[in-house]
Chains A and B, each alone.
Chain A
């Protein structure tokens, strides 16, 4: 066995040689890293049909379970092809390893039924989808009833956790949201400037930047950022609490996780996202204004006076009005995915990703529906 000689590096790697056609001499170190070449040679070996073979194993200098498995596999393969095989000269302690393999051989080669076939997998996939949809509805319903209970008894609201969430998800998101919408304002103005200059209609930069930012882009950018920043955090926080059984602990105290964890977060986002959107509006328009004065000679004062007449108040109100709905979508999806986490650590990562993708998806769908409906009502 290899541990017999801790310092021995002078062992030959494993090998096999045929002697007189019927005797296979095995030699060298049959240990796990070194047995690989011989394993390949033995697997490709064509055994002489219906003959009596001898594995002459006295040349094996080191042996471990890996070597034993390889030797036993070769033995079984030769027997399967109709040969009569015996092993000679194997050291007694190595022979014990061989008997260890042979006594476990049945379990080792046992056919393991594959998990399921195609149609079954399809069935379970459809079933899982249905279950997930039902669970989603269930979660929505529970949240709604918890909200109703809360409205009936507002003193049960967890203001502290709500304010904490407001700070983490609102205040701390100000720099990144501001910077991004500022840059988006700059980009839109640059792209527009090129076209507007051609027609000499420089002043319309105000309409372009103002309406697109206030009505669509600022709310969307803020929502997408918050989905990535806070929605994922909700899923990971609640999921980790689930894995560490904190949610179960809450329930044994008769506390509702939805009331304790979900509602404060939803409420905090419903407050924070419109405020963030308003802030994004200001910085985005400011970015556009800078480029307008720089590239199109539209001064700040000209920009602002045109802004007053060109951009109707409803554009801003529509933009701000969508924000709370976005907030509800993001918070609910994040929390819901958190509750869906079952297994261990990789489940947390998976559901965190799902929460971000799903909430951005739903936000954009909702936005598109809004656009269609508002167009219908010609707003």
Chain B
């Protein structure tokens, strides 16, 4: 230990003299000692194919890398690949059915063996093994074959035209794993390879030295990393546990840690902590939108087995004017101010980013209009007939149940919205459900978000990567959850419009970013005009880093730690 410290110390001393004055962050590998990262939800494994959670994917991204990564601006950068294949440079076939990647030359695994195209092919086989239960299998959707043309060339063939082919082996979710290490771990044998799952060999800047599941991971700089003088840190202490407030405190107030992830806490508290001057709060916006789903089917318990199925339309929420009034009554700016602070922006679109896809047709919702909402309902003849302060439509009082997962910010938002809806004559009953049940999808539980046994529900959804095609297909008629499909499906609000389905099909055939953007915007506006989905807040990932930590560029398009190889200590 002491010997190592000495070495590092000496390295820093020599590195400082020639280079340090220029920018302070180049020199010997491992010159800056240890960086402490806290993820208040700790990783349970370092194999992202076995657990698709953000914490696993991001911690593994220090070790495992993919062909390309998305930068903080959403730009696709070549990582293990020499360049990004396009139709222009011949990397993508004219008919859009295949893509050919070239690996960088001389890339080595941390055990010293060379990275080859065979590893990429193996990764595909590993994840698509039918018995493996691979969490990232959707990244290989539509892939017919992956083959190694030569040691450095990977050819991916799709079963049909794939206008956006940068999914397989791109981004933190589908990195390349080493064939030599995992060759006996295919399919049902995956869980027997604990050593490999807890300590994968990678090409990235760090190697795992100790892994304690759901607790702590220790990394050390990879001696075989391909970039000279990187990473600047000799070790990484990746601690988990506690809650978001404690994680923020350890970076912004006590200074025990250098980087804290996912700090969804009260913005005034976070701002107060930041004002202590020890660290900085940074936000990265991706595609996450906190939204309300307005149930188009009737969740009345008296319907029994046909409850919340398309057989029974909702008695009043299918009227888009009611949904519109509900949307108008909401002061999104205030929700952002109270619950999200810098971590949120007002949005009127379910698809707010990337910029090229975001529509501006619905921006009227950005300002609250209670009077307008009242007028709209009055005009529609939906008025309070019996004097109890609640409007009725065809004799049915506008009384809604509103459910979401348990989370302090969501409960504040619920309380605010309940208040605003009461002002326009809509009564609301609030419910919160433990997240593990709500998002659990257990067909036996009545409280899952798929079953949607409520009138309104709220949660955040997003899509990984930068292409919205699969995401926008969520609202096809065929995606509606029902008892026949074991309540599987992603069309929570039971929106169904053949014209929308046609746009989904059209998008899957269209290439060219502008043409695609046009269709996506149409889809977005169609959803917005149905008022079956009411977007509230465009949410960003909020993280904090110590002021002495340099080079941090938080990205929501990839792992937040995507460029940890460039991090350094400001002296």
| A and B found bound together | no
The interface of chain A, by Cβ under 8 A from chain B, is none
